[in-house]
Structure 1
Amino acid sequence: MKITVKMKKYITLILVLIVSSFIILGLSGVFRSSETPKPILTSLESVYLEGYYSEYLNTYGHHQIDTEQSHKIDAVDFVLPEGETLKEDLQSYEWVDNSSIFIHVDIELEGLYYVHINYLSLSVSHIPIGLSIKLNGDEFPPYYEASQITLNTLWAESSAQMGVDRYGNDVSVTQETYDIVQDVVIRDSRKLYKDGLAFFLEQGENIIEIEKISGQLLLNEVRIESKKNYITYEQYISNYTEQNIDYIQRFEAEESLYRNSSTISRGISRDPLVEPYSMTKLKLNVLGTDSYDNAGDAVTWAVDIDHPGWYYITFKASVGRQNTTSYRTLYINGELPFEEARHLPFSYDRKWQNITLQNINQEPLQIYLEPGDEITLEVDGTLFSAVYEKLRIITSEMSTLGLDVTKLTRNNTDKGIDWVMLDYFPNLHETLANWVEELNEVNNVLRDLYGFERDAQVVRDIEAGISRIQKIQSDINELPRRLTLLSTGSSSAVQLITNQLDNILKQPAIIDAFFIHTDLEDLPNPNPGFLTNTWVFFARFFLSFVDPSYSEKAREDELEVWVNRSRQYVDMIQKIADDQFTVETGIKVKVSLINDDSKLLLANSANQQPDVALGISAWIPNEYGMRGMLYDMSQADGFSDVIQVFNPEQLIPMTYDDKLYGLPETENFFVLFYRRDILEQLDLTVPNTWQDVLNMLPVLRRYGMSFYIPLSSSSALKSFDSTAPFIYQFNGRIYSEDGLSSAIDHENTIQALSFMTDLYREYSMPFQVPSFFNSFRYGEIPIGIGDFGMYLQLMNAASDISGLWEIALVPGIEHEVFDEQTDTTENIINRSMGGAQQASIIFEKSEKKAEAWRFISWWMSTETQLLFSQTMVNTLGTRYLWNSANMEAFEAFSWDPSHKEIILEQWSHLKEVPKIPGSYIIEREISNTWNSVVYNDANLRSTVSDALIKIDRELARKMMEFGYLDSSGNVIKPFILPTVENIMRWYNE
């Protein structure tokens, strides 16, 4: 028997080695053939998006001026806002307040001109400098892009030395502004037009108004010039004397001089030939991992070469998006050297590549460089602008048709109804055929630009959208029952195409290094060999048993903390804990990452739970606490002092039986997002109450627009986040006073439910909005209620509407309230909204509860939250804005002051739903009621009555389980429903 066991072990080991070898071979591409890409520079025929620059160019494009025209306006000639003056030297204007300046320019020859600005950014925050340009007294900019111009603030790492964590792994250093004067042509915020933005100026005097929307800058001069034409590569190489030298030098891509976006950050590669390299440590040794892929992102390097001359520039890069080609633009000392440098291809390959800068015909380009030159590589999305706009037009038309069909059928899709769609949409055949033709044309352009025979995912998704349209074509009278193919649901044609819009513009490429060299053959192999990969694989495998950085389990003398967040957050928490908390208290902390907080339940069952968990869902403290898994924090030392930084409402979801089982860590917020530009054009004001919303809906509908509320999300389950705010705003109730049963039949609750359903049945709000962010961004739904996630998206992924959107308090219900002290009646607006997001907990089984409480108290303190927030943003950019639940810390964050003020005021209207055993059934039945009334035209009151029976039956069962009722339904002990009044006792202790 012993021999058999040994033999099994040896066979298992051999099989593991064989499988591992095949995996390594597969990853290295041994078993797959590689395709040589052949991209072609092509574009769609004219695409005109109404109100946008493309339409403006179609109108005035024939007015391009061939001769060079230039008009320089110095600072002394600016017409400044009243009371403003230039700097003492009269050479520049320190533009701090949001205001407008005016420039007068006398034009001899009418035509299209480009605006150049010479400036120094004074911004120290990550909010971009935003401008808007109007002409000759017009009320609005001449086209959309002119209303959301952004100027770059440059960023550099504050230290050349990487920080390290306790295990020797690299930790990102903070970024600081890089202050140099920039001279740029005004471009659209998404950098989709290669020449910049042109403006048609008439002969004679023109007045240009430049309005600053955000940021601060020192404005030196403005130049009005005709389009700049660049020489060809052939002309370029004839301008310099050829020098024959033998040279090669490697430069690390991550060690840049500066970047034009704080979101461009270092990444990690564990490949053996990526430098710097470590067998066991994580090194921030590449550029472009999850960044440096948005059009206009640019990185600049100082090239320290010995002699002037002709050089090749080769980037060791990895383009991992399958069957695509990304494009870059090269600048030397801020100037485009020749026309062919605009569109430099970086094509997909499974492995690292040495990509020598070459033209589209794959001919290497030589660049003339001198000592001290700077080279800039910018992400080029200009080739995809027409594709992007065409898809926006098509998806908008599809969504409009879907909405029109829904209005016609009132969502009644009974199979017994025969619809003759041509009676209502006589051009339906032509419309569908045009979409198929246009989408095929888009795909052909993408295939040319990517240059691969195999289709990219973007192309495949558009193909899937085409197939859905063709299925509708096969029987157009079935369209009412096939809207999920067209415009509703996650797999509709609209959703498939919309999901790829941003991906079309993104141009990903990870760069390890670049070489300046004279010999094309004199380059090192970018990929390790099979033996090297095999050695590294097994070496890391065996080292993982002894290297402490691989261990997720804390040592005996360490406090174990699990964090349900991404690696960037976990690494930063560990670094700050080591540098601050351990130094102050002597308590060592081991921070580990978990990617699913449901693992906590399993870990606790197996007695493998941590001491502390951070970043867990806000419902977990109550659910786990009522089952005895968590420590009651209300009995901890200094508890009353710690909770002073929270709104009492924030503690309600984490309270059970008068005990607190968690502290809020992050707080979601719901605010009203609105497009300032669109509301101004429609002469609409920001609504204050829901009656104001009802009043504006007809105007929005007249222009094919609508209003968004979370009830319109694609999710079938309408959670408390989307239903409870209406109930509370109507002063309704969800639970009975004793908390043992439901009160959704309360008259005020019925009013709230009736209003929630009437918004759709009577006022035609969209039943489903696949993406409020996209609808808001493209102007289809210019106003609606969104949360922190929406705010982050607008801050980081919607530069095209930067400066055009604002936030406000959510609309509410107006009530008359009698004040007994003053014996008067006043009107107040109830704006109740929830916001619970993530929490921190301590496990009851922990043997280090005192240390765990001390850690959580430190972590949620104002000082620590401020330090963590500032470090994350300064290191990794605004994608890592931190929405701390600590209101003191949030108030001190360097967010947009006007936005922060609104968010904090909305938090004063925070109203959370208490959790009771079985509360899930109430949430579900309210959702079912809404769905039944809206989609099936059910009677509201009878549906509520039916739901109440199900709810009370389930609540009684759960109350018996937890010992509040006996089997006959008699009360054994009272249930304490969490209220603000009860929680305030903790604040006053």
Structure 2
Amino acid sequence: MTRNIYINNEIPFKELENYTFKFNSSWRIQTLGTDKEAFKFYFEAGKEYEFSMETSLGSYGPKIAQIENVISNLSKIYREILVFTGPEPDPNRDYQLTTRVPNLISRLNAELEELHKIRDKIIEISGSKSEKTGILDTIILQIEDFLKKPSQIHKKLTTFNNNVSSLGTLIILLSDQPLELDYIAVHGSDGKLPKNSVNIFKQMFFSIRAFFASFTTDYSSVGKTTKDANETINVWLTVGKDQANILRKLIDEKFTPMHDIQVDLKLVSSASLLPATSSGKGPDVAMGVGTNVPVNYALRNASYDLTKFSDFKDIIKRFNRSAYESFEFGDGTYALPEQEIFMMMFYRTDIFDELGLNVPNTWQDVIKMIPDLQKYNLEFFLPVPRTQGAVVNLPPNPIFSTMFYQNGGSFYINNNTESGFNEGLGPEVFETWTQFYTDYSFPVEANFANRFRSGQMPLGITYYNTYNTLSVFAPEIRGKWGFLPVPGTEYIDENGEKQIRRDTVSTNTGAMILNNSSKKDASWEFLKWWTSTDTQVRFGREMEGILGAAARYPTANVEAFESLPWKRNELEVLKEQWSWVRGIPEVPGSYMTGRHLDNAFRMVINETANPREVIYDYVQIINEEINKKRKEFNLN
């Protein structure tokens, strides 16, 4: 790994530009210098100096560009082969790829030669073989095998695609160049350096202490402020350790000094909230709860109605209504939104340009474009939530929900006492949605990120945080993809003008106050602080600073969202779609809605049942469950 080394914001001499730290998995001491002698620096007594290092690609920079070019060429070869074989080739068929794919053998030979050069140069730079060269060895062996047995290429097409994707991982490895420093020492030429390791007895003593400490340490606790305060509230959250540590830091620096309220923060499993609340040992505040939790707790008198606070109406203006609609029931609101993630349409700009295709603007455009995609054995992705195992709360399918809302549908009618799927254009929308799978053979399950990366699936609709994944997971297609609002549905407005509706749905998390809390006012102060613009912006930036673009925080606070490091064109597109986002209400028994919508969908695609009859039958079952739950909670 290489670094540019600065003293007082200047590189003192050329040798400290792209200075190399040799790889080693153990702690070691490296004195700045060459193999023959150490560098010498002149420091004046009594003067302050600032020492800093900057990550530099150094000699790896040109190699990364070469790898990106190889990936682009091999991916193009893969897509050209896909035209003739499809994603699941017949292993017993000879596709005659060497005659049907232009210059296949010569192109593979050229990429093989380039990969050999890259491999040799990486070994020269790093000084040894490593996992980086292992990735190259794998694809080199496969291409050599293709050249020996070209008639067998189609049998190993999936492995070939995976190996090409692994080259993208190699780019990440070469770009990251992690360097862990314990300390920096300044010493004279005759200075005695400390040892870089301890003896075996000290290692054993440390291990024994760590073992016994594991019996007494509360690993769920992230700690509480050491400063004295008038009140202490218990806050539980279910996110990762990094997020918890950042929140702990923000609380200590801002919230406690400002409000004189101490926060005992604990990182817990989401499954522990219900038994703890039932036994009276729950927290004052629960963060990161799912869409269905606040209302379900409210029905059992376990979550507190936030509208009872006098400044609630001012605080709720921070969010779009779609972010908290699922937290409402009756006249109450039982959580404040933390995150909101909505649907966007992702597409590969390079492939669309190559094939001369236009990105669809409406669902009719999607249907018209399907033959053009399938002519090249390419696919369109529409998400279907997985149902393996015991799914307690399966959300309604986001694509059906999108199309249903665009056609004027309401999830629940008659004061939220019945399902609205049978009303208006509901049955027609359900039939159109299932036709994507029955008539047009869309895949029911697919790893969109992988197939989008390879180009096999150059277009798809999914939640916008896929942006985070692609930014880090697929560096080789950087600049070759974009996102737009979801396809819309045309309608005629009151002036006779043709318009397009782009309604879609989102998935949310929230923070709620438990009803058995004796410190509701202090808990409300915490919720207001946590969902404020300043806190959300700082939390988002801290997250991205530590974990990179993969951790771009999907805050529900509109003003904070606009302050995160989005590019201007990306932000405009996201805001355009966000203005159309709608929430899905939570009602007693609504857990049956997503579950039976999925049952109806699978009945149609697996058993070729009549879509309109199937959705009618399942709506009756949904209504029975809603009525049963309303009776249970005395709501009738």
Q: What is the identity, as a one-letter code, of the residue corresponding to 1:620?
A: V
- Structure holding more strand per residue: 1
CA distance in 1, matches of 2:573, 2:330: 34
**2:250 aligned to 568, 576, 595, which one?**
576
CA distance in 1, matches of 2:13, 2:341: 42
Q: What SS does structure 1 have at the residue aligned with 2:283? A: coil
1:374/1:828 Cα in 2 relative to 1: closer, same or farther (>3 Å)?
closer
Partner in structure 2 of residue 524 of structure 1: 194
1:674/1:933 Cα in 2 relative to 1: closer, same or farther (>3 Å)?
same
**1:619 aligned to 289, 292, 308, which one?**
292
**Who wins on radius of gyration, i.e. which is larger?**
1
1:462/1:951 Cα in 2 relative to 1: closer, same or farther (>3 Å)?
farther
CA distance in 2, matches of 1:792, 1:843: 33
Q: Tell me how far 1:786 sits from its aligned partner.
A: 4.2
1:762-801 Cα distance to aligned partner (Å, 9 max, x none):
556666552437725x666555434332233455666666
Partner in structure 1 of residue 239 of structure 2: 565
Asked if 2 retains the 8 angstrom alpha-carbon contact of 1:332 and 1:374, the reply is no
Q: What is the identity, as a one-letter code, of the residue corresponding to 2:338?
A: E
Partner in structure 1 of residue 585 of structure 2: 914
1:531/1:757 Cα in 2 relative to 1: closer, same or farther (>3 Å)?
same
Asked if 1 retains the 8 angstrom alpha-carbon contact of 2:171 and 2:475, the reply is no
1:652-696 Cα distance to aligned partner (Å, 9 max, x none):
222345532221112113333455666566665554323334455
Q: Does 1:813 align with 2:518?
A: no
CA distance in 2, matches of 1:587, 1:696: 58
Q: What SS does structure 1 have at the residue aligned with 2:342? A: coil
Q: Does 1:378 align with 2:53?
A: no
CA distance in 2, matches of 1:767, 1:494: 25
Q: Tell me how far 1:839 sits from its aligned partner.
A: 0.8
**1:896 aligned to 544, 548, 567, which one?**
567
- The number of aligned residues is 612
CA distance in 2, matches of 1:517, 1:650: 58
Asked if 1 retains the 8 angstrom alpha-carbon contact of 2:380 and 2:460, the reply is yes
Q: Tell me how far 1:646 sits from its aligned partner.
A: 2.2
1:856/1:764 Cα in 2 relative to 1: closer, same or farther (>3 Å)?
same
Partner in structure 2 of residue 923 of structure 1: 594
Partner in structure 2 of residue 18 of structure 1: none
**1:725 aligned to 399, 402, 408, which one?**
402
Partner in structure 1 of residue 383 of structure 2: 711
Q: What SS does structure 2 have at the residue aligned with 1:643? A: helix
Q: Tell me how far 1:744 sits from its aligned partner.
A: 3.9
CA distance in 2, matches of 1:899, 1:700: 26
Asked if 1 retains the 8 angstrom alpha-carbon contact of 2:86 and 2:377, the reply is no
Q: What SS does structure 1 have at the residue aligned with 2:496? A: strand
Kindly report which structure 2 residues correspond to 1:22-61, keeping only aligned pairs within 5 A, or say none. Answer: none
Q: Tell me how far 1:614 sits from its aligned partner.
A: 1.9
Q: Tell me how far 1:909 sits from its aligned partner.
A: 0.7
Partner in structure 1 of residue 180 of structure 2: 510
Asked if 2 retains the 8 angstrom alpha-carbon contact of 1:665 and 1:840, the reply is yes
Asked if 2 retains the 8 angstrom alpha-carbon contact of 1:611 and 1:848, the reply is yes
**1:590 aligned to 254, 264, 269, which one?**
264
1:609-651 Cα distance to aligned partner (Å, 9 max, x none):
2111222333332343334432222333332232122222322
Q: What SS does structure 2 have at the residue aligned with 1:815? A: strand
Q: What is the identity, as a one-letter code, of the residue corresponding to 2:428?
A: Q
1:198-219 Cα distance to aligned partner (Å, 9 max, x none):
xxxxxxxxxxxxxxxxxxxxxx
Q: What is the identity, as a one-letter code, of the residue corresponding to 1:593?
A: L
Partner in structure 2 of residue 197 of structure 1: none
Asked if 1 retains the 8 angstrom alpha-carbon contact of 2:339 and 2:510, the reply is yes
CA distance in 2, matches of 1:645, 1:829: 27
Q: Does 1:302 align with 2:7?
A: yes
Asked if 1 retains the 8 angstrom alpha-carbon contact of 2:418 and 2:626, the reply is no
**2:281 aligned to 608, 624, 638, which one?**
608
With the length of structure 2 as denominator, give the TM-score of the two structures.
0.75
Partner in structure 2 of residue 99 of structure 1: none
Q: Over aligned residues, Cα RMSD in angstroms?
A: 5.3
CA distance in 1, matches of 2:582, 2:551: 26
Q: Does 1:942 align with 2:610?
A: yes
1:207-260 Cα distance to aligned partner (Å, 9 max, x none):
xxxxxxxxxxxxxxxxxxxxxxxxxxxxxxxxxxxxxxxxxxxxxxxxxxxxxx
Q: What SS does structure 2 have at the residue aligned with 1:865? A: helix
Kindly report which structure 2 residues correspond to 1:614-653, keeping only aligned pairs within 5 A, or say none. Answer: 614-653=287-326
Asked if 2 retains the 8 angstrom alpha-carbon contact of 1:557 and 1:588, the reply is yes
Q: Tell me how far 1:908 sits from its aligned partner.
A: 1.7
Q: What SS does structure 1 have at the residue aligned with 2:383? A: helix
Q: Tell me how far 1:402 sits from its aligned partner.
A: 5.7
**2:631 aligned to 940, 958, 964, which one?**
964
Q: What SS does structure 1 have at the residue aligned with 2:194? A: coil
1:807/1:353 Cα in 2 relative to 1: closer, same or farther (>3 Å)?
same
Q: Tell me how far 1:907 sits from its aligned partner.
A: 1.7
1:894-942 Cα distance to aligned partner (Å, 9 max, x none):
64344333322322211222233444443244345545655x5x53x52
1:405/1:582 Cα in 2 relative to 1: closer, same or farther (>3 Å)?
same
CA distance in 1, matches of 2:300, 2:347: 43
1:732/1:451 Cα in 2 relative to 1: closer, same or farther (>3 Å)?
farther
Q: Does 1:838 align with 2:505?
A: no
1:682/1:835 Cα in 2 relative to 1: closer, same or farther (>3 Å)?
same
Q: Does 1:422 align with 2:98?
A: no
CA distance in 1, matches of 2:531, 2:41: 53
Q: Tell me how far 1:344 sits from its aligned partner.
A: 4.4
Q: What SS does structure 2 have at the residue aligned with 1:964? A: helix
Partner in structure 2 of residue 672 of structure 1: 345
Asked if 1 retains the 8 angstrom alpha-carbon contact of 2:304 and 2:514, the reply is yes
Q: What SS does structure 2 have at the residue aligned with 1:637? A: coil
CA distance in 2, matches of 1:765, 1:609: 45
Q: What is the identity, as a one-letter code, of the residue corresponding to 2:284?
A: D
Kindly report which structure 2 residues correspond to 1:231-270, keeping only aligned pairs within 5 A, or say none. Answer: none
1:284-341 Cα distance to aligned partner (Å, 9 max, x none):
xxxxxxxxx8xxx85533289xxxxxxxxxxxxxxxxxxxxxxxxxx9647468xxx9
1:898/1:422 Cα in 2 relative to 1: closer, same or farther (>3 Å)?
closer
Partner in structure 1 of residue 391 of structure 2: none
CA distance in 2, matches of 1:530, 1:408: 56
Q: Percent identity?
A: 23
Asked if 2 retains the 8 angstrom alpha-carbon contact of 1:458 and 1:504, the reply is no
Q: What is the identity, as a one-letter code, of the residue corresponding to 1:813?
A: T
Q: Tell me how far 1:708 sits from its aligned partner.
A: 4.6
1:477/1:707 Cα in 2 relative to 1: closer, same or farther (>3 Å)?
closer
Q: What is the identity, as a one-letter code, of the residue corresponding to 2:530?
A: W
1:343/1:959 Cα in 2 relative to 1: closer, same or farther (>3 Å)?
farther
CA distance in 2, matches of 1:420, 1:771: 28
1:627/1:396 Cα in 2 relative to 1: closer, same or farther (>3 Å)?
farther
CA distance in 1, matches of 2:128, 2:73: 26
Q: Tell me how far 1:856 sits from its aligned partner.
A: 1.0
CA distance in 2, matches of 1:599, 1:364: 60
CA distance in 2, matches of 1:342, 1:446: 16
With the length of structure 1 as denominator, give the TM-score of the two structures.
0.51
Q: Tell me how far 1:525 sits from its aligned partner.
A: 1.9
Asked if 2 retains the 8 angstrom alpha-carbon contact of 1:618 and 1:653, the reply is yes
- Structure holding more helix per residue: 2
Kindly report which structure 2 residues correspond to 1:767-916, keeping only aligned pairs within 5 A, or say none. Answer: 769-772=446-449, 775=452, 783-793=459-469, 806-817=482-493, 819=494, 824-866=495-537, 868-869=539-540, 880-891=551-562, 893=564, 895-916=566-587
Q: Tell me how far 1:569 sits from its aligned partner.
A: 3.3
List runs of 5+ in structure 1 lacking aligned partners: 1-292, 305-330, 410-417, 967-971, 975-989
Asked if 1 retains the 8 angstrom alpha-carbon contact of 2:168 and 2:475, the reply is no
Q: What SS does structure 2 have at the residue aligned with 1:510? A: coil
Q: What is the identity, as a one-letter code, of the residue corresponding to 2:265?
A: V
1:853-881 Cα distance to aligned partner (Å, 9 max, x none):
22212322345434544666678765554
